[in-house]
């Protein structure tokens, strides 16, 4: 799922650097649509539409947060929430 997330949200921006011709035009249009949608969403929520320029960076940041969170839960064998440790085995049994 993480690979799909990165491909869907980051590849159009990277493709601008590695494609040319008609393919470049299609990716440029895709990036323009993504940017307009993110800017409109920001405006709808009362934020500055220029935040849309940070979308590729926030995609990478969000991916890092998810990968780190999942790896920490698997390494620790559970979830730590507000100072309490919840083992994955108990969470799977729905006992917490």
Q: What is the pLDDT of residues 8-48, one digit of tens each?
A: 999 999 999 999 999 999 999 999 999 999 999 999 999 99
**Res. 96: pLDDT tops 70:** no
Count of structural domains, the chain: 1
- Identify the pLDDT of residue 2: 87
Q: Model pTM greater than 0.85?
A: no
- Domain hosting 69: range is 2-92
Query: Concatenated DSSP letters for 44-88?
Result: HTTS-GGGGGGHHHHHHHHHHHHHHHHHHHHHHTEEEETTEEEEH
Q: Say yes or no to pLDDT of 80 above 70.
A: yes
> What percent of the chain has a predicted confidence (pLDDT) above 90?
71
pLDDT score at 12: 95
């Amino acid at each position: 799922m993480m690979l799909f997330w990165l491909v869907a949200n980051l590849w159009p921006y990277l493709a601008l650097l590695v494609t040319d011709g008609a393919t470049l035009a299609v990716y440029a249009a895709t990036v323009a649509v993504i940017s307009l949608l993110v800017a409109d969403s920001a405006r709808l929520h009362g934020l500055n539409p220029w935040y849309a320029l940070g979308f590729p960076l926030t995609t990478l940041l969000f991916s890092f947060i998810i990968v780190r969170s999942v790896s920490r839960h698997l390494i620790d064998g559970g979830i730590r929430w507000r100072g309490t440790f919840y083992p994955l085995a108990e969470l799977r049994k729905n006992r917490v």
